[in-house]
A and B are shown apart, each in its own frame.
Chain A
Amino acid sequence: MLKAIVIDDELYAREELNELLVESQQVEVIAQCSNAIEGLKAINSLKPDVIFLDIHMPQITGLELLSMLDPVSMPKVVFVTAYDEYAIKAFEDNAFDYLLKPVESSRLHKTLQRIKLINEQKLDQPNYSPITCQKLELIPCSGFNRILLLEPNNIEIAMSEQTGVHLLTDSDKFTASLSLKVLEEKTDLIRCHRQYLINPTCIREIKLLDNGSAEIVTKSNHHAPVSRRYLKVIKDRFGLL
Chain B
Amino acid sequence: MSFVVNGMQHDATPQPGQCLRTFLRELGWFGVKKGCDAGDCGACTVHLDGKPVHSCLVPAFRAEGLEVTTIEGLGVDGLHPMQQAFLDAQGFQCGFCTAGMVMTAACLDQAQRQDLPAALKGNLCRCTGYRAIADAIAGHKHADGAGSSGGRNVPAPAGPAVVSGKARYTMDVAPDGPLQGLLHMKILRSPHASARIVAIDASAALALPGVIAVLTHEDAPQKHFSTARHEHVTDDVDDTLVLDPIIRFAGQRVAAIVAVSEAVAEAARDLVEVSYELLPAVFDPEEAMRPGAPVIHDKPVSSRIANASRNIVAELHGETGDVEAGFAEADLVHEATYQSQRVQHAHLETHGAIGWLGGDGRLHVRTSSQTPFLTRDALCTLFNMPKDKVRVFSERVGGGFGGKQEMITEDIVALAVLTTGRPVKLEFTRSEQFSASTSRHPMRVTVKLGVRRDGTLTALSMRMVSNTGAYGNHGPGVLFHAAGEAIALYRCANKKVDGYAVYTNTLPSGAFRGYGLSQTIFAVESAMDEAAHKLGIDPFAFRRLNVVRAEDPIVAADHVAHDLSFGSYGLDQCLDLVERDLNGAPKPKLSGDWLTGRGMAVAMIATIPPRGHRAESRIRLTTEGTYELAVGTAEFGNGTTTVHAQIAATMLGATPAQIRIRQSDTDHIAHDTGAYGSTGTVVAGAATGRAAEALAEAICTFAAAHSGVDRATCRLVDGDVMAGERRISLVELAEAAMAKGVALSGIGHSDGSSRSIAFNVQGFEVAVHRRQGEIRILRSIHAADAGFVINPMQCRGQVEGGVAQALGAALYEQMLIDAEGKVANPTFRGYHIPSFADTPVTTVHFAATSDSIGPLGAKSMSESPYNPVAAALANAICAATGVRLRETPFTADRLYRLVLDEDGRNALRRSEARDAVEPPFQAQEHAVAVPGE
Asked if chains A and B come from one complex, the reply is no
Interface residues of A (CB under 8 A from B): none
Interface residues of B (CB under 8 A from A): none
